[in-house]
């Protein structure tokens, strides 16, 4: 009985070896068939496109935890409009912003767009060059997503945009620096594998009289070159420009910038003063002497 069992085990081992050999043969046949599926012309086009794709810029787009719905939808709209963009999970607010540089290196990205939310009200946008800086901090105003606007314009997905800049960008040095940073971040690289080889929409960056940057997206309508707005739209107010990526010396500090907390505090004080004056006027009533709030302030 012992010899018979040994013979059965040897037969089973031979069968398993034969089956594994057949599976390997089929796998190699499938690989060769996949390679043979591509024609010589398609292979040549892929090699040519890889050689022409010299600008390997990639943009990391992410937001902080606690971001509201509108901020997340705006971030998704930007990722859809930029075929060279990559997303990532939400960043914890307790972590330092320098960690974003490591995340960008892991994702093989050279630029970063980081939406930072505070108090579920205020939204800040960091635009940074990971390699050597600079990094620019903006306060975002008047955000409107594509789904919210529901405009008549439309463009093909992954098509390349034309960047249009206002002439005021060349008047001041910090605006010129912001212009070059916007060009390097929002411009889709030529011959990018995920992009379409044509232009059918325009990214418009204009400077308002109070030195804020207004972003709008337009469709180029056929050969008439008329523009129809697509969305999204938002306004950027420059706060500071740093020499490094999320760190370094301050190159520019906006003297006209007022934080949202300071604005809310001023509005509360104004409403409080109006309430006190109203109560004083009620107490005085029909007396001849008129009192103001300054008479009661020590």
Per-residue pLDDT of the chain (298 residues; tens, 9 = 90+): 555 566 666 666 666 654 555 444 444 444 444 445 667 777 776 776 666 666 678 999 999 998 999 999 999 999 999 999 999 989 998 889 999 999 999 999 999 999 999 988 899 999 999 988 899 999 999 999 998 888 888 888 888 999 999 999 999 999 999 999 999 999 998 878 788 888 889 999 999 999 999 999 999 987 778 899 998 999 999 999 999 999 999 999 999 999 999 888 888 888 777 777 777 777 776 555 555 555 555 4
Neighbours of 71 (CB within 10 A): 21
**CB within 8 Å of 119: residues ≥ 6 apart:** none
The pLDDT value recorded for residue 140 is 96
Q: Beta strand pairing status for 213-221 and 111-118?
A: unpaired
59-253 has CATH 3.40.50.10480 classification: yes
Distance (Å, rounded) from C-alpha 235 to C-alpha 65?
22
Q: Beta strand pairing status for 226-229 and 213-221?
A: antiparallel
Asked if 260 contacts 122 with a C-beta cutoff of 8 angstroms, the reply is yes
Predicted TM-score of the model (pTM): 0.75
The pLDDT value recorded for residue 19 is 55
Asked if 61 contacts 75 with a C-beta cutoff of 8 angstroms, the reply is yes
The pLDDT value recorded for residue 291 is 53
The pLDDT value recorded for residue 7 is 61
What SS3 state is found at 163?
strand
In 3D space, the residue among 235, 232, 68 whose CA is nearest the CA of residue 150 turns out to be 232
Distance (Å, rounded) from C-alpha 94 to C-alpha 86?
23
Render 76-130 in DSSP notation, one character per residue: HHHHHH-TTEEE-PPBPTTS-TTHHHHHHHHTT-SEEEEEEEETTTEEEEEEEET
The pLDDT value recorded for residue 155 is 85
């Amino acid at each position: 009985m012992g010899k018979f069992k040994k013979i059965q085990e040897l037969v089973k081992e031979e069968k398993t070896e034969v089956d594994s050999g057949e599976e390997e043969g089929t796998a190699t046949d499938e690989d060769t068939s996949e390679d043979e599926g591509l024609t010589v012309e398609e292979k040549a086009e892929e090699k040519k496109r890889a050689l022409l794709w010299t600008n390997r810029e990639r943009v990391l787009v992410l937001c902080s935890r606690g971001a509201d719905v509108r901020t997340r939808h705006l971030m998704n709209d930007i990722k859809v409009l930029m075929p060279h963009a990559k997303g990532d999970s939400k960043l914890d607010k307790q972590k330092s912003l320098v960690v974003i540089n490591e995340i960008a290196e892991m994702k093989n990205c050279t630029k970063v767009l980081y939406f930072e939310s505070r108090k579920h009200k205020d939204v800040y946008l960091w635009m940074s060059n990971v390699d050597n800086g600079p990094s620019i901090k903006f306060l975002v105003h008047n955000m409107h997503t594509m789904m919210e606007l529901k405009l008549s314009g439309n463009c093909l997905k992954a098509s390349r945009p034309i960047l249009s800049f206002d002439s005021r960008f060349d008047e001041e040095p910090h605006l010129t620096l912001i212009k070059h940073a916007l060009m390097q971040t929002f411009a889709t690289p030529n011959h990018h594998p995920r992009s379409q080889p044509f232009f059918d929409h325009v990214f418009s960056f204009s400077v308002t009289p109070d030195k804020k940057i207004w972003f709008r997206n337009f469709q180029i309508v056929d050969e008439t070159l008329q523009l129809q707005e697509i969305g999204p739209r938002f306004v950027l107010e420059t706060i500071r420009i740093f020499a490094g990526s999320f760190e370094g010396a301050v190159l520019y500090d906006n003297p006209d910038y007022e934080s949202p907390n300071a604005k809310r505090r001023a509005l509360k004080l104004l409403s409080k003063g109006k309430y006190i004056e109203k109560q004083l006027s009620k107490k005085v009533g029909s007396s001849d002497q008129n009192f103001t709030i300054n008479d009661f302030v020590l």
